[in-house]
Amino acid sequence: MAMQSSARLIRRYYHEMWNRWNFALAHQLLAPRIRFRGSLGVEVRGIEAFKGYMRHVQSAFPDFSNTIEEVVSQRTRIVARLSYRGTHRGELFGIPPTGKRIAYSGAAFFRISRGKIAAGWVLGDTAALIRQLDAPPSSQSRGATESGLRIVAANAGQRDWAASLMASSEPWITLRRDLASCRTACHRPDSLLFVALSGTETCGFIILQRRGVADSPYIKSLAVAEQHRGRGVGSRLIRFAEDFFRLSASHIFICASSFNSRARALYERLGYAHVAELKDFVIPGASEILMRKSLLSTAQVNASAR
């Protein structure tokens, strides 16, 4: 009976709450302190943050639907195999709306406590999703995607391109990072690497870590190809990183080498504040300046202060 009840809970979670965008059901189906990772890779804690993630998905795919292909229940543990479908109507992963119909697969793992979902961890095939969104645009959507930069998850070739750019650019030249070490950094499985594209030309890259400083997101590396500098590519990549983590984190960190005054000026202009100086951290005589920015809106800051 307990297994049947848990399976029914998961079916209500998908069919009644997600597929009908019934946000009010969250309080009935979810534990107040739920910990959740969604199929898009966003991690949240608590019901209000969870509903924020739902709105994030809804803004990208207003007709988003979940289909349960299979459910395996073992008392308080539930595993579901899923397929997702929707129409791309809002920006996602830095990709403007394309109007494309998408479909991708996922696997969800839930823990049930006292009749409610206490934790959920979903692995979605985001690589397949991004490939569909980043495919050559239709005539209806071509103007939207060609009007500016697109930021997409890097493939293997783009990771090698990023490593070459890193090895031939500051601050890595002064920090004595050779091509081999740059390749290692760009292919680390625990880092997220995205590239900025203008048409088919790769303009720059950013490497992100979900938990880098004080369990908060960290912008590990950022570089723009020389011919594209001064055009706002770096700013666009940083804003992408902030939006990527906004639903799951309160702060984001970045470092600038003490001799890299241009980078420090950019980060300060975008709202990053100096929080620490790490002297002689990478090479003797140079410091790494740790900088932080709040991802909370003014309304959220005021609410937390009450």
197-225 per-position pLDDT tens digit: 988 889 999 999 988 888 899 999 999 99
Instruction: Please spell the DSSP secondary structure of 160-199, one letter per residue.
Output: HHHHHHHHTSTTTTTTT--HHHHHHHHT-TTSEEEEEEET
Cβ-based neighbour number of residue 189 at 10 Å: 4
pLDDT for 130: 85
Q: Which residue has the tokens 């100096």?
A: 274
In angstroms, the CA 91 to CA 27 distance is 28
CA distance 216 to 241: 12
C-beta neighbour count of 38 within 10 angstroms: 21
Boundaries of CATH 3.40.630.30 in the chain?
148-305
Q: How many CA atoms lie within 13 A of 119 on its CB side?
A: 5
Please give the Cα distance from 178 to 200 (Å, whole number).
27
Residue entry with tokens 């090895």 = 167
Strand locations in the chain (E): 30-37, 43-45, 65-74, 77-87, 101-113, 116-124, 150-153, 192-198, 201-213, 216-224, 251-257, 273-279, 287-294
Tens of pLDDT along 79-119? 999 999 999 988 887 677 888 999 999 999 999 999 999 99
Q: Residue 208 carries which side chain, given as an amino acid letter?
A: L
CA distance 234 to 256: 14
pLDDT at 4: 67
Residues 6+ apart with CB under 8 A from 178: 167
Coil, helix or strand at residue 251? strand
Tell me which CATH code domain 2-133 carries.
3.10.450.50
- Give the count of beta carbons closer than 10 Å to the beta carbon of residue 247: 19
Strand 77-87 and strand 65-74: the pairing is: antiparallel
pLDDT at residue 166, rounded to an integer? 96
The DSSP code for 227 is G
**Confidence (pLDDT) at 149:** 80
Q: What is the pLDDT of residue 138?
A: 41
Name the fold adopted by 148-305. Answer: Aminopeptidase (3.40.630)
**For the chain, which residues score pLDDT lower than 70?**
1-4, 94, 135-148, 297-306
Q: For position 139, what pLDDT does the model report?
A: 36
- In the chain, CATH 3.10.450.50 covers 2-133
- State the Cα–Cα distance between residues 192 and 186, nearest whole angstrom: 9
Number of Cα atoms under 13 Å in the Cβ half of residue 196: 24
The SS3 assignment for 168 reads coil
Residue 232 CA, chain-centre distance (Å), reads 20
DSSP 296: S
- Tokens representing residue 240 in the block: 């992408």
Q: In what order do the strands lie in the sheet with 77-87?
A: 43-45, 30-37, 116-124, 101-113, 77-87, 65-74
